[in-house]
Amino acid sequence: MAERLDGTRILILETREEAQFSRLLKEKGADVLQCPMFTIEDVPDARPVEDWIARFVADPFDDLVLMTGEGLRRMLKVVRRTCGDAAFVEAVGKSRRFTRGPKPGKALREIGLAPDVTTEKPTSEGIAEMLAAYDLTGRRVGLQLYPEKDHAALIRAIEAQGAVVDAVIPYIYDSKAADTNILAAIDEMESARVDAIALTSSGQVRRLVDAARTHGREDQLRNALAKTPIASVGPVVSDELESYGFRASITPAEGAFFMRPLISAMSVALARNPSS
C-alpha cells in the first residue's frame, strides 16, 4: 500500500523529538523500536550562560546566530530564573537573527519572533557560507553553539570577516547510561530483526559509533548496518555516515529534509525492497 509502513520494524535513535517521530511512524503502520541514546541536560556550571545572557540583555548583539532550537529554549530556561523573559526577548528582537535550519526558527516563533535569514545548508559550513555574504566588520555576533562538536573553524571564519564573536553552549549531552540500549539495538540489526534504521541528526551517527567503539563492538556495528537499510533525513546526516564509511540508502527528496518526507521515502523504498 502506498505511503504505508505496515509490517516493518523501524529503529529510531531517541532524541528530544523522538516522541513525534515515533508517533508519525506508527500512524503509517510501522512497529517502532526506540533506542534511548542520551539525554539533554543543563550545563553543570550555569555561570557562563548567565554571563552571556547578561551581556546580551545589557547591550544586544548586532547579529545572533542560533544553531539549535534546543539552545534557545535552554537559554530561556536560564532567563526565567534570572532576568525574566521580557528583557531577553527584547534583546533577541533587536538583533539580526540567523538560524541553522528550521528548528531554531520554530523556537523563535514560540517567543513571537522569526529568523531574518535561514541557511539553506543546515551545517556549520552552511552558516559560514551564509554569513560570508554579509559585511560583519566591527559587528558583535552572538553565537549559540551545541555540544560534542568542534566549532573552532566556524568561529575563525566569522572573526575573519572582522566580527567580534561571543559564543555560548547552553546544554550538554549525557550519554553514559544509554550504552546498553545502543548495544541491544546493534544486536537487533545484526540479527536482521530491523527493516530500517532512521537517522535524523549527525549526533546520532557519532553516538552510535562511539558506543560501539567503547565496547569493542565496531565490527559488529559495521556488519549490522551492512544488513540494515539506513534512512537519512538529509545531507548533514548522510555526510556524517560517509565519514565513518557508511552509506544511506534511503533519503527524502532534495530540499525536503524533515521527518514526514523521510517517512514517505522509507515507505516507498521498503515497499520496493522488503526485508526477507
Q: Given this model, what pLDDT does residue 58 score?
A: 96
**Residues 124 and 247 placed together within one structural domain of the fold:** no
Asked if residue 192 and residue 164 are part of one domain, the reply reads no
Count up the domains in the chain and report the number.
2
Is 149 or 94 the better-scoring residue by pLDDT?
94
- Alpha carbons 89 and 169: distance in angstroms, whole number: 18
- Strand segments, DSSP code E, in the chain are 9-14, 31-36, 39-42, 63-66, 96-99, 117-118, 140-144, 164-168, 171-174, 196-199, 230-232
Per-residue pLDDT, averaged over 173-195, amounts to 89
Q: Between β-strands 9-14 and 171-174, what pairing exists: parallel, antiparallel or unpaired?
A: unpaired
Closest CA to 261 of 233, 239, 242, 235: 233
Let me know whether 131 and 69 are in one domain.
Answer: yes
Picking from 173, 203, 232, the residue at the C-terminal end of a domain is: 173
Average pLDDT score over the chain = 91
Cα–Cα distance, 143 to 229 (Å, whole number) = 36
Shared domain check, 24 and 46: no
Task: State whether 32 and 19 are in the same domain.
Answer: yes
pLDDT in tens, 56-93: 999 999 999 999 999 999 999 999 988 778 999 999 99
Q: Name the residue among 253, 247, 230 with its Cα closest to residue 10.
A: 230
Q: Is residue 3 part of a domain?
A: no
Per the listing, cell 540583555 goes with 57
pLDDT at 25 over 50: yes
* Residue 92: CA count within 13 A, CB half-sphere: 29
Q: What per-residue confidence (pLDDT) applies to 1?
A: 42
Per-residue pLDDT for 141 more than 50?
yes
Instruction: Flag whether pLDDT at 275 surpasses 60.
Output: no
Nearest in space to 13 (alpha carbons), one of 256, 215, 253, 210: 210
Question: Is 200 part of any domain?
Answer: yes
Please state which of the ranges 1-5, 148-152, 252-256, 260-264 shows the lowest mean pLDDT. 1-5
Q: Cα 20 to the chain's mean position, in Å?
A: 15
Domain co-membership, 236 together with 247: yes
SS3 266: helix
Residue of 87, 78, 77, 89 lying closest to 113 (CA atoms): 89
Range of the domain at 104: 42-173
Task: Say if 52 falls within a structural domain.
Answer: yes
Asked if 121 and 193 sit in the same domain, the reply is no
Q: Is the domain of 158 the same as that of 187?
A: no
- What value does the mean pLDDT take over residues 21-36? 90
Is 78 within the bounds of a domain? yes
Residue 181: inside a domain, yes or no?
yes
Domain assignment present for 4? no
- In a shared domain, residues 47 and 166: yes
Q: Cα-atom radius of gyration of the chain, to the nearest Å?
A: 20
**Are 31 and 58 contained in the same domain?**
no
**pLDDT for position 150:** 82
CATH code of the domain in which 180 resides: 3.40.50.10090
Phi, psi of 42 (to 5 degrees): -65, 150
Same domain? For 86 and 168 the reply is yes
Phi, psi of 206 (to 5 degrees): -60, -40
- Let me know whether 153 and 75 are in one domain: yes
End-of-domain residue from the set 125, 155, 173: 173
pTM: 0.66
Average pLDDT over residues 189-207: 93
> 258 falls in which pLDDT band (50, 70, 90)?
confident
Query: Is pLDDT of 15 > 70?
Result: no
Is residue 90 a part of any domain in this protein?
Answer: yes
Q: Residue 149: is its pLDDT beyond 80?
A: no
Flag whether pLDDT at 272 surpasses 70.
Answer: no
Beta-strand relationship, 39-42 and 171-174: antiparallel
Span 201-216, pLDDT tens digits: 888 999 899 999 999 9
Q: Single out the residue in 173, 194, 228 at which a domain terminates.
A: 173
The percentage of residues in the chain with a pLDDT greater than 70, rounded to a whole number, is 94
